[in-house]
Structure 1
Amino acid sequence: MGMVGRRTVTSTAAAAALLLVGGGFVRAQSAKATRPAPTTDDVTLRLPAPSGPHRIGVTTLYLVDRSRRDPWEPLPVREVMASVFYPARTVRGRPIAPQMTAGAAATFPHLDPLFHRELPTTGVNWVATRTHAHTGAPAQPVRRPVLLYSPGGGDPRTLGTGLAEELASRGYVVVTIDHPGDGSEVEFPHARAGRAQVRRTVFRGDPRTDPKTFRTMVGTRIADTRFVLDQLAVLAAGRNPDALGRPLPEALGHALDLRRVGIYGHSAGGTTAAQAMYEDRRIGAAVDLEGFLDHAPEKPGQEGKLLPVAHYGVDRPLLLVGTDGFPQKQALEPSWSAMLAHPRGHTRRRQLSKATHGVFTDYAVFAPQLQAAGLMTAAERNSLIGAIDPAVSVPMLRGEVHSFFARHLPSH
């Protein structure tokens, strides 16, 4: 539980009795105050440096699927934002990218402490956090395996920056995907009729207690990943898939080897990764970081119906990575056990000890920094990521995910 007396949340939360978290939900506390602009006294959080040999470039794609209507709000098309991290030929003269855009960073302290009550609502300058990637740097014109990343339910793609940079530094093109209307805040290049420039989540109930909402969430995410893969094929063919035609980094299309595609995701993103691989033959390997592999139960106390990937199994490699401290570990177990029981042996399982659900995101390093700054208690840090030290968890997670993809989708 958060220290509510020390915290405030925005009035936009007042209507939300429940809000989605990556794999669970928390009950929102409504209050009146709004957050002041960052000051020089606010803490700047730091991401860990990638350890691979390649310098990294990054660019953003604004993608519009005109064949789908948005499932969450009355919008006539489905819009997706994605970031592409890639090995750069040179980074000279290219600025370091921020982790979050200015609009997303301004919205973050109003929304994300509702999803993760351990987070402070003041005292952090979220826009100041820098990545290790250089905006628009020319890509190495070498065909590289492509990895897609789907974040946890209610989380933005930016919270997976550290792992994405690590994989890019080791020779992969990594495409992190936002699922607008689901993710807490998603900034677009512009506003449009019916949508602000920064789109906020619409979730007000737990999809694990609403089977229809859960199905829509997972189905939408899988369709988003399929669409992003289609647009990467456009890019690899030498055309620009950005809906505004914004310039792309030199040689980026030449860096994509779409014969070698993997996907990984956290929580609902892990569900997405496993089921997307089952449905899409273009995906050759997947990592599920503590995501359910069944539908939401029809009634409390029942087991959910297995997703097809868990019911039928899959003929490509799947890695399941969990924690010993996940509060919903017991509910997760039936679908993971079913997945592991398939006789062909394509699925492996690993576990992080002294850890819990948030350890798979950048909170693994942010929570200890917040604790050191007096903005998070030890109990809150343990609730969010567990007691594990980031000096242990970060290389362990990076090692598990990279070694899996290096084995099944080698980058050289």
Structure 2
Amino acid sequence: MRISLRNRPFGVAATAAALALTALASPAAAAPASASGPAPATALAPASAAAAEPAAPALPRPTGRYAIGRDTLFLTDHTRTDAWVPAAGPRQLLVSLNYPARPGTGGDPAPYMAEEEARLMLAQRGLEDVVPPALVGATRTHARTAARPAPGRFPLVLLSPGFGTPRATLTGLAEELASRGYVVATADHPYESTGTQLPDGRVLTCAACDKVDAQPDDDARRKVLAAVSAGRADDFSFLLDRLTGPDPAWRHSRTIDPRRVGMAGHSIGGNAASSTMAADRRVDAGVNMDGTFFDPAPVRGLDGRPFLMLGTDPGHGPGTDASWDEAWDRLDGFKRWLTVRESGHFTFTDIPEVGEQLGIDDPDAPLSAARSTTITRSYVTAFFDRSLRGRPARLLNGPTPANPEVLFQHP
């Protein structure tokens, strides 16, 4: 069975928890979102009686030369109270660490996401009875748990997911970067995802999404989203302390080169990349993947540090999101503004791959999953190779015949 799904634009009042499933699950012929939230899901065509149960999706195989290990850290910042649920106590982070590993070491393949996290992500769009949560949760990865790290020291890349979106949706990019010789730390920010399952089994839901939806107007909502981004900057400064400081929390911290740190994020996570760079000089380069800039970080400039803006076309072309035009004018180091034809908001995540393998079509983002993966991997890796390793990155010099979808804005 193939299900044809169609995106509809969401109002600012709709939380990004709704956006998290747009590319995977926005219903066909749905009414536009109202001021109170996203449009309701409509009935989907049932599978034929003869349709076989689909297999669990698999993330594309990474292209680098390294095997990949995966560890998980659960960290508590005792200097801060959680902004969204103060009664919960200190701020906590759940972090996946993908890293270059010795081949043939490690245990089982690393899990993609907990079934309950998948169920909550699907339920937000009324799809838990259409797409089995167990299949999404069982998406096959390429990292191995408890693998021995490869010899050497590697640059560190921090990844931040979209608002309302589990960190798992950036796993494909994290594995690709790890296979290319980066340590990659991807964080779930508490109460900012449809569901985050903690090691003790508790599941945190998106209190911050409720806070956004409760605001009376767009300006008030933007202020809350700016606070989300600023809070993530604090999260990543704390994470850097715990990964590269004198008392590291990760057993393989010696594999990180603290002098070479980059950050990328999707949606509001992309805004968080610029916020973190503005607040923390340890971050040397940043990437915003299709995220509006909700705070003034780009206005202040990043002191010559390189920055890549990678977005949809036309959604993030010149004149379509004023925050990108402003950021471009203010960025004062190496910079590139790229947009991708026929892409959607979630082109830069795992959602196209997972959705396509589960038989879900997205006519409003017709770029194939294979091209979505190739473009995201190629350009993000090229940017970090140039910025953190000093390697030539001809891919960033201008348009190429192999990537006709990628447009260079303001060359």
Q: How far apart, CA to CA, are the structure 2 residues paired with 1:343 and 1:362?
A: 29
Determine the structure 2 residue equivalent to 1:85. 98
Q: In structure 1, the residue corresponding to 2:110 is in which secondary structure?
A: strand
* Deviation for aligned residue 1:27: 1.5
Q: CA RMSD in A?
A: 2.9
- Answer yes or no: is the 8 Å Cα contact 2:277–2:302 preserved in 1: no
Q: Structure 2 CA distance, aligned partners of 1:19 and 1:293?
A: 16
The equivalent residue for 1:109 is 119
State the SS of the aligned residue for 2:192.
coil
The aligned residue for residue 123 of structure 1 is 132
Of 161, 165, 181, the match for 1:171: 181
Deviation of residue 113 (structure 1)? Answer: 4.7
Among 212, 220, 226, the residue aligned to 2:237: 226
Distance in 2 (CA, whole Å) between partners of 1:395 and 1:94 is 28
Alpha-carbon distance in 2 for matches of 1:18, 1:294? 16
Residue identity in the other structure for 1:48: P
Residue 134 (structure 1) shift: 0.4
Residue 390 of structure 1: aligned partner: 369
Q: What is the CA deviation profile of residues 142-180 of structure 1, one whole-angstrom value per residue up to 9, with x for unaligned ones? A: 110000000001001100000110000000000001111
1:18 is displaced (CA, Å) by 4.4
After superposition, the C-alpha distances for 1:317-374 in whole angstroms (9 at most, x for unaligned) are 0000011154x87886212112222384532111111111010110121222222xxx
Q: Which residue of 2 aligns with 1:19?
A: 15
**How far, CA to CA, are the matches of 2:38 and 2:62 in structure 1?**
35
Q: Distance in 1 between matches of 2:162 and 2:319?
A: 17
Q: What SS is found at the alignment partner of 2:149?
A: coil
- Residues 66, 103 of structure 2: 8 Å contact kept: no
2 CA distance for matches of 1:20 and 1:309? 22
Instruction: Measure, in 2, the Cα distance between the counterparts of 1:120 and 1:348.
Output: 42
Shift in alpha-carbon separation, 1:123–1:188, aligned structure 2, 3 A: closer
Q: Number of residues paired by the alignment?
A: 350
Q: Is the 8 A contact 2:54 2:358 kept in 1?
A: no
Identity of aligned residues (%): 33
Label 1:352 to 1:253 Cα distance change in 2 as closer, same or farther (>3 A): same
Match for 1:358 among 333, 343, 346? 346
Distance (Å, rounded) in 2 between the aligned partners of 1:29 and 1:171: 43
Q: Which runs of 5 or more residues in structure 1 are unaligned?
A: 4-16, 32-39, 192-196, 243-247, 296-306
- Contact kept? 1:320, 1:350, Cα under 8 Å: yes
What secondary structure, in the 3-state scheme, does the structure 2 residue paired with 1:258 have? strand
1:283 corresponds to: 283
Look up the match of 1:404: 383
Provide the rounded CA distance (Å) in 2 between the counterparts of 1:335 and 1:212: 14
Secondary structure of the residue aligned to 1:230 is helix
Residues 305, 333 of structure 2: 8 Å contact kept: no
Please state how far the C-alpha of 1:130 moved relative to its aligned partner. 1.9
Separation of aligned partners in 2, 1:411 and 1:340 = 23
Structure 2: gaps spanning 5 or more residues: 4-12, 23-32, 43-51, 392-411
Distance 2:280 2:298 in 1: 11
* Alpha carbons of structure 1 residues 339 and 119: separation in structure 2 relative to 1, 3 Å: farther
Query: Structure 2 matches for 1:13-412, cutoff 5 A?
Result: 18-21=14-17, 22=19, 27=38, 29=40, 41=53, 43-73=55-85, 74-92=87-105, 94-100=107-113, 104-114=114-124, 121-124=130-133, 125-190=135-200, 197-202=202-207, 203-204=209-210, 205-206=212-213, 210-234=221-245, 237=246, 239=247, 241=249, 248=251, 252-295=252-295, 307-312=296-301, 314-324=303-313, 326=315, 333-342=321-330, 344-371=332-359, 376=360, 378=361, 381-383=362-364, 386-410=365-389
SS of alignment partner, residue 174 of structure 1: strand
Q: Deviations over 1:279-313 (max 9, x none)?
A: 21000000000111234xxxxxxxxxxx1323545
Task: Decide whether the 8 Å contact of 1:181 with 1:201 is kept in 2.
Answer: yes
Q: Which amino acid aligns with 1:265?
A: G
Give the structure 1 partner of residue 398 of structure 2: none
AA paired with 1:162? G
Which residue of structure 2 lines up, in the alignment, with residue 6 of structure 1?
none
State whether residues 313 and 339 of structure 1, in contact with CA within 8 Å, keep that contact through their aligned partners in structure 2.
Answer: no
1:219 to partner: Cα distance:
1.6
Is this contact kept in 2: 1:56–1:133, CA < 8 A? Answer: yes
Are 2:303 and 2:333, in contact at CA under 8 Å, matched by a contact in 1? no
Separation in structure 2 between the aligned mates of residue 93 and residue 343 of structure 1, nearest angstrom: 42
Residue equivalent to 1:36 = none
Q: Which amino acid is 1:199 matched to?
A: L
8 Å CA contact retained: 2:274, 2:297: no
Cα pair 1:56 1:132 within 8 Å, conserved: yes
Per the alignment, in what secondary structure is the counterpart of residue 183 of structure 1?
coil
1:22-61 Cα offsets, whole Å, 9 max, x none, are 5898526499xxxxxxxx9354111101000000000000
Q: Any idea what SS the aligned residue of 2:142 has? A: strand
Structure-2 separation of matches of 1:339 and 1:212? 18
SS in 1 for 2:70: strand
CA contact (8 A) 1:109 1:120 kept: no
Counterpart Cα distance in 2 of 1:110 and 1:169: 30
In the TM superposition, residue 89 of structure 1 has moved relative to its aligned partner by 1.9
Q: C-alpha separation between the residues in 1 aligned to 2:72 and 2:78? A: 19
Residue 121 of structure 1: how far off its partner (Å): 4.2
Q: What TM-score does the superposition give when structure 1 sets the normalisation length?
A: 0.77
Cα deviation, residue 20, structure 1: 2.4
Give the direction of change, closer, same or farther, for the CA distance of 1:411–1:165 in structure 2 (3 Å limit): farther
SS at match of 1:216: helix
Alpha-carbon distance, 1:90 to partner: 3.5
Look up the match of 1:10: none
